[in-house]
Amino acid sequence: MTRQAITLIGGGLVGALLAQQLAKRGFQVEIFEKRPDPRRVGFTGGRSINLALAERGLQALRTAGLAEDVLQRAVMMRGRMVHPLGGTSGLQRYGVDDSEVIWSVSRGGLNMLLLDAAEAAGVKMHFGQSLVAADLHSKRIVLADENGTLHQHDAPALIGADGAGSALRAAMDDYQSLGIRVESLGHGYKELEIPPGTGSERFAIEPHALHIWPRGGYMCIALPNTEGSFTVTLFLPAHGPHPSFDTLTDAAAAASFFRQDFPDLLPLIPRFAEDYDSHPVGTLSTLYLDRWHVDGRALLIGDAAHAIVPFHGQGMNCGFEDTVVLANLLAEAGRDTGDAFAEFQRIRQPNANAIAAMALENYIEMRDSVADPHYLAKRELGAR
């Protein structure tokens, strides 16, 4: 059965998965994506080279028939490997056995796999097309190509999966206030790399773990990549007294800080100076909206509706869960688009708010409590 046309803005992780699911249910889907096709020119992600895929996101991928393909390109993480300063590292398992684990996946690899799946399901894709304006009265959008040439497109039902900086959100807010609130965490992040091991060891440290170096007010984490490297992320206050990104202005200052605070990690990052000086400091915020949709004309999904801080590793996972709920609601017989959008917000917003709060709490747990003897004793007794 052919259903109505849906225009999707953004072919990132959530947009590509949603497009595939809508096309499989008979909708005519078009995606407009700002960046060039990553399968042609390589992935230019900008942030977090890898991500933790958890059961919530995996379940959505199973519904889409893509879980096995994704897991073949993922590294299992059985728990947190905690590296206390001057102490012995230890694995805190997520569950009793390997049925309760999370997975490290490459953002670029996953995005390309999802774009392939969307295309195979019949989605029409337009790359290098950036949404610059949306007129929700006339239901038309304006797109700019890579040369800045503008063109218009009819879009009776629009869905914005265009991420935390969503252009569609701004256009919707002009039409009808969405009640937007952005709360900055005040901490930023920078990515560094542990290269693959030398000799017979493919990985320089334990591959099947999410590594944490908790240091109270800040921390480093590392997630494995299939080819043997790890992506390390340093989370630190953005401003203020030492240590902050304000005070660690260059690699020399940062290396001396690492020698004191992360002495076991620094030798694992041979290109520390190049990484530190060339990689930008990312910012972290939580986005709250009162309204995710404008009747049946436009809806926001994924980070465009509910960007969160990354400490529960749940932003993408939550966005993936969104896609299943929305595709099912839109496909339900007798439901009009406005009603499906309203129901989507009713079901998903409490979940998004809960995950946002848990992600903020987990920053304190990861950077501090995981190394606390009382916390460890409670875990030992099963009170996690």
Binding residues vs ligand FAD (CB under 6 A): 9-15, 32-35, 47-48, 51-52, 130-131, 161-163, 167, 189, 233, 282, 302-304, 310, 313-317, 319
Q: In this complex, which beta carbon is closest to ligand FAD, that of residue 108 or of residue 228?
A: 108
Instruction: Quote the least distance from Cβ 115 to ligand FAD, whole Å.
Output: 10
Cα dihedral 329→332→337→338 (10° resolution):
-70
Q: Least CB distance from residue 16 to ligand FAD, whole Å?
A: 8
Beta bridge partners of 103: 53, 76
Residue 164 or residue 267: which is nearer to ligand FAD going by CB? 164
Nearer to ligand FAD, 139 or 335 (CB): 139
- Of the two residues 165 and 263, which places its CB atom closer to ligand FAD in the complex? 165
Which CB sits closer to ligand FAD, 11 or 214? Answer: 11
Strand 219-224 relative to strand 210-214: parallel, antiparallel, unpaired? antiparallel
Residue number with the smallest Cβ distance to ligand FAD = 12
What is the closest distance, in whole angstroms, from the C-beta atom of residue 187 to ligand FAD in the complex?
11
> Alpha-carbon distance 283 to 251, whole Å?
19
Min separation Cβ 363 and ligand FAD, Å:
12
* Distance (Å) of CA 39 to CA 108, 112, 207, 229: 9, 6, 27, 22
Cβ of residue 381: shortest distance to ligand FAD, in angstroms? 28
CB neighbours of residue 104 within 10 Å: 24
Q: Does an H or E element contain 268, and which? A: none
Identify the burial level of 280 via C-beta atoms within 10 angstroms of its C-beta, where 0-12 means exposed, 13-18 middle and 19 or more buried: exposed
Residue 156: CB partners within 8 Å, gap ≥ 6? 4, 5, 7, 139, 297
1 or 186: CB nearest ligand FAD: 186
d(CA 275, CA 227) in angstroms, rounded, equals: 19
| Contact predicate 348/327, CB 8 Å | no
What is the nearest approach in angstroms of ligand FAD to the Cβ of residue 120? 19
Give the Cα separation of 47 and 89 in Å (integer).
Answer: 28
Our CB check for ligand FAD shows the closer of 50 and 337 to be 50
161 vs 30, 158, 177, 213, 320, CA distance in Å?
12, 10, 19, 33, 11
Kindly tell me which of 9 and 374 has the beta carbon lying closer to ligand FAD.
9
- Nearest approach in angstroms of CB 227 to ligand FAD is 18
Nearest to 102 by CA among 48, 57, 47: 57
Q: Give, as one character, the DSSP assignment of residue 243.
A: S
Q: Give the residue among 147, 164, 171, 251 at the shortest CA–CA distance from 7.
A: 171
Query: Least distance from C-beta 228 to ligand FAD, angstroms?
Result: 19
Residue 243 or 310: the one with the smaller Cβ distance to ligand FAD is 310
Tell me the closest approach of the beta carbon of residue 76 to ligand FAD, in angstroms: 14
